[in-house]
């Protein structure tokens, strides 16, 4: 059976990836920072095809240990890596680039986003490259965001999520660098935006709500057909369908859950 690693699997889309992959009979390794507190994952642990691993993607020793644990089960191989783990916090997220409360707050926001959304993905991917090299599919799916597309930002005039957007823009080049090295060997490195997905487990702070409403208006102006967030089930289903049918000729591309770069919503 195909083997998958899902990094950032404790909740939201990561957990949904685990559920849908298990439902198809795949062997799944789910990485979470605190597995014991991941109720959704624990509810699935009776499935013999699920292996729950502890790991923080910003810690190289954690990712190497997760790769070693995976190799012991698979005999040293891996078919697909899904980089889902990401950092997005309400703290500082809805400030414009010159509107942070202090220089220290700006630096913290950029560092947190960079360390997880860029370096963490590199550390995770590098740790599993030796296993992927022995796998049959050799696919890496990295979740990005349409907010990392400069043209979409210009079109919508979306000024917030500064550090997150910059990190996701850089993540596209990370994906391209991997593709540049491994495309001739038949690998697929695909960056994908899941769309606007409803994954919040609690209501956003009251002072953020007006900005979310403004954001929704900007998105609707850019994409009149957009009616609001989609469910994790819908988003993950679309992304897995794209992953299944996509081959090395698309390696290095950055697309949406709709399969192109013209429609992020």
What string of H, E and C letters represents the secondary structure of 65-113? HHHHHHHHHHCCCCCEEEECCCCCCCCCCCCCCCCCCCHHHHHHHHHHH
pLDDT of residue 203: 66
pLDDT of residue 90: 64
Among candidate residues 139, 168, 238, 253, the one labeled active-site is: 168
**CA–CA distance, 192 with 38 (Å, rounded to integer):** 25
Taking every pair of Cα atoms in the chain, the longest distance, rounded to a whole number of angstroms, is: 52
pLDDT of residue 136: 97
Does the annotation count 168 as an active-site position?
yes
pLDDT of residue 67: 98
Does the annotation count 94 as an active-site position?
no
* CA nearest to 14, candidates 36, 39, 31: 31
pLDDT of residue 91: 66
Among candidate residues 87, 164, 178, 182, the one labeled active-site is: 164
**CA–CA distance, 97 with 127 (Å, rounded to integer):** 34
pLDDT of residue 209: 79
Does the annotation count 164 as an active-site position?
yes
Q: Which two tokens stand for residue 145?
A: 């965001």
The whole-chain average pLDDT of the chain stands at 94
Q: Which residues does the chain have with pLDDT short of 50? A: none
pLDDT of residue 94: 85
pLDDT of residue 211: 79
Among candidate residues 3, 77, 109, 145, the one labeled active-site is: 145
DSSP classification of residue 229: P
Burial of 225 (0-12, 13-18, 19+ CB in 10 A): exposed
| Domains of the chain with CATH codes | 3-256 (3.40.50.720)
Using DSSP's 3-state secondary structure scheme, residue 52 falls into: strand
pLDDT of residue 210: 82
pLDDT of residue 201: 67
pLDDT of residue 202: 65
């Amino acid at each position: 059976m195909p083997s998958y690693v899902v990094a950032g699997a404790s909740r939201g889309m990561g957990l949904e990836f685990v559920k849908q992959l298990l439902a198809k009979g795949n062997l799944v390794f789910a990485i979470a920072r605190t597995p014991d507190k991941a109720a959704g994952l624990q509810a699935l642990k009776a499935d013999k095809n699920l292996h729950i691993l502890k790991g923080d993607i910003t810690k190289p020793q954690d990712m190497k240990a997760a790769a070693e644990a995976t190799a012991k089960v698979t005999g040293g191989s891996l078919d697909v890596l899904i980089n889902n783990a990401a950092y997005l916090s309400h703290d500082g997220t809805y400030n414009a680039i010159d509107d942070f409360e202090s220089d220290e707050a700006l630096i913290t926001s950029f560092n947190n986003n960079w360390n997880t959304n860029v370096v963490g993905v590199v550390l995770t991917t590098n740790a599993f490259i030796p296993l992927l090299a022995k796998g049959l599919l050799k696919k890496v799916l990295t979740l990005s965001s349409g907010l990392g597309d400069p043209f979409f930002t210009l079109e919508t005039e979306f000024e917030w999520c500064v550090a997150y957007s910059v990190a996701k823009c850089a993540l596209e080049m990370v994906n391209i660098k991997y593709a540049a090295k491994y495309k001739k060997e038949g690998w697929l490195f695909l960056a994908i935006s899941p769309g606007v997905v409803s994954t919040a487990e609690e209501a956003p702070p009251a002072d953020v709500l007006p900005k979310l409403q403004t954001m929704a208006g900007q998105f609707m102006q850019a994409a009149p057909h957009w009616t609001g967030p989609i469910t994790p089930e819908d988003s993950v289903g679309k992304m897995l369908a794209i992953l299944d049918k996509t081959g090395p000729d698309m390696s290095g591309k950055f697309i949406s859950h709709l399969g192109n770069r013209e429609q992020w919503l």
